[in-house]
Amino acid sequence: MTHYIGINGIIWASPVEAGEVIPNMSFVKNKERWPAYLQGSLHPISSEDYEYVLRYQLERSATT
């Protein structure tokens, strides 16, 4: 492999299951076939979707 990209982000101790947040993600148009949207390489998501996942993770962490 000759090309690399940097990835900025965070790593959680307990990752969020995709199926838990997919119903509220705007980039997934067909919620029944959501795995197809996650295939392949990395895909950018909107800042709104990112903020939703962060809130979901923080709320989940607060209850455990």
Tell me the pLDDT tens digit for each residue of 19-45: 999 999 999 999 999 999 888 877 788
On whether residue 51 sits in a domain, the answer given is: yes
Domain count, the chain: 1
On whether residue 59 sits in a domain, the answer given is: yes
With CA atoms as reference, report the closest residue to 20 among 48, 64, 59.
Answer: 59
At 2, which amino acid appears?
T
On whether residue 33 sits in a domain, the answer given is: yes
Which residues constitute the domain of residue 26?
18-63
- Considering the entire predicted model, what is its pTM? 0.70
On whether residue 41 sits in a domain, the answer given is: yes
On whether residue 9 sits in a domain, the answer given is: no
Tokens of 12: 């959680």
pLDDT value for 6: 67
Helix or strand or coil: residue 3? coil
On whether residue 12 sits in a domain, the answer given is: no
With CA atoms as reference, report the closest residue to 27 among 44, 12, 4.
Answer: 44
On whether residue 5 sits in a domain, the answer given is: no
Pairwise CA distance, residues 56 & 62, whole Å: 10
pLDDT tens for residues 49-61?
989 988 998 888 7
On whether residue 3 sits in a domain, the answer given is: no
